[in-house]
């Protein structure tokens, strides 16, 4: 059974149909990339998966259970956004442990979990720092650390690297691939960058104007795009 299933999901804001009937299956431990031009509905779809936005119609299932009425905190997901708003007055350790503190996890257990995540993300030497004393890449790693400590079954990343410079983006892509291996988790990653999609994905979902144009491996999409839009967007030979 697929870890995540979307069945005929639609979303309208007023009279505007933004997501127009999306069906999708994401398998356990898959690295799935949603790619498509700005405004095609990637973030809206992610926010519905996360439970931050409700679908107008259709069903969202996680491990076979219907999630439509389940709140974001109870879906077993963690989301990392482009703007990673860390708490400026808190240290890296406290930022990473904050969700556990809200959940009433005792201090020692919090520390253990934060240290484990900090080790994976090479943040151990920075645990006592405040966000303003970190580089952009380090801050983004803290944001990822906040997700890791929640032990999610599915990670959702919405353009997490788009505020970083080109060299750092390449480095972070490699780190995310390593993280995917190490955590053995399912990851859904949104980007408008074809290169990011082609290099990171097990499976690419090409979105266009609220519709899934094609789903396939990078090589399938490259060699067998189903239409001109996919060919153009993926950069297939004409
Ligand atoms: P993407 O992430 O692919 O750039 P979005 O999901 O952010 O696209 O947006 C898809 C479309 O939905 C856009 O046309 C956007 O203006 C519209 N939209 C998104 N959120 C809202 C909202 N809260 N109210 C009205 N329109 C929205
Ligand atoms: Mg977006």
Q: pLDDT digits over 180-191, tens only?
A: 999 889 999 999
> Helices 92-102 & 107-120, crossing angle to 10 degrees?
130
DSSP state string for 151-204: --SEEEEESTTTTS-HHHHHHHHHHHHHHHHHHT-EEEEEES-HHHHHHH-SEE
Residue range 2-27, pLDDT digits in tens: 799 999 999 999 999 999 999 999 99
Q: What pLDDT, on a 0 to 100 scale, did the predictor assign at position 238?
A: 61
Residue 68 DSSP class: T
Q: How far is the CA of 92 from the centre of ligand 2 (A)?
A: 26
Contact 54 CB / ligand 1 (< 6 Å): no
ipTM passes above 0.85: yes
Contact 142 CB / ligand 1 (< 6 Å): no
Q: Measured between alpha carbons, how far is 195 from 218 in angstroms, rounded to an integer?
A: 10
What pLDDT band is residue 85 in, cutting at 50, 70 and 90? confident
Q: How far is the CA of 123 from the centre of ligand 2 (A)?
A: 28
- Give ∠ CA 16-18-20 in degrees, rounded to 5: 110
Q: How far is the CA of 48 from the centre of ligand 1 (A)?
A: 12
* Average pLDDT value for residue range 110-124: 93
* Average pLDDT value for residue range 30-54: 96
Q: Measured between alpha carbons, how far is 86 from 100 in angstroms, rounded to an integer?
A: 15
Contact 43 CB / ligand 1 (< 6 Å): yes
* Average pLDDT value for residue range 207-217: 98
Q: Return the ligand 1 atom nearest residue 207 CA.
A: 3
Q: Measured between alpha carbons, how far is 232 from 53 in angstroms, rounded to an integer?
A: 31
Locate tokens 């490699």: which residue? 174
Q: What pLDDT, on a 0 to 100 scale, did the predictor assign at position 82?
A: 76
> Is the pLDDT reported for residue 197 higher than 70?
yes
């Amino acid at each position: 059974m697929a870890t995540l299933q979307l069945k005929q999901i639609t979303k309208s804001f007023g009279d505007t149909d933004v997501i127009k009937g999306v069906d999708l299956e994401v398998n356990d431990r898959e690295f799935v990339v949603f790619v498509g031009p700005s405004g095609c509905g990637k973030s809206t779809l992610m926010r519905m998966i996360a439970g931050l936005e409700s679908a107008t119609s259709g069903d969202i299932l996680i491990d076979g259970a219907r999630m439509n009425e389940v709140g974001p905190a109870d879906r077993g997901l963690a989301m990392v956004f482009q703007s990673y708003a860390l708490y400026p007055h808190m240290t890296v350790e406290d930022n990473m442990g904050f969700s556990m503190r809200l959940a009433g996890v005792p201090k020692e257990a919090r520390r253990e979990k934060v240290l484990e995540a900090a080790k994976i993300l090479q943040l151990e030497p920075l645990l006592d720092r405040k966000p303003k004393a970190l580089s952009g890449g380090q801050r983004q790693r803290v944001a990822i650390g906040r997700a890791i400590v929640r032990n999610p079954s599915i990670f959702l990343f919405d353009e997490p690297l788009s505020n970083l410079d080109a060299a750092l983006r390449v480095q972070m892509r490699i780190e995310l691939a390593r993280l995917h291996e190490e955590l053995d988790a399912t990851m859904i990653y949104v980007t408008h960058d074809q290169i990011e999609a082609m290099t990171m994905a097990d499976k690419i979902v090409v979105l266009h104007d609220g519709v899934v144009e094609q789903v396939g491996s990078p090589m399938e999409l490259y060699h067998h795009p189903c239409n001109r839009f996919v060919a153009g967007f993926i950069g297939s030979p004409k």
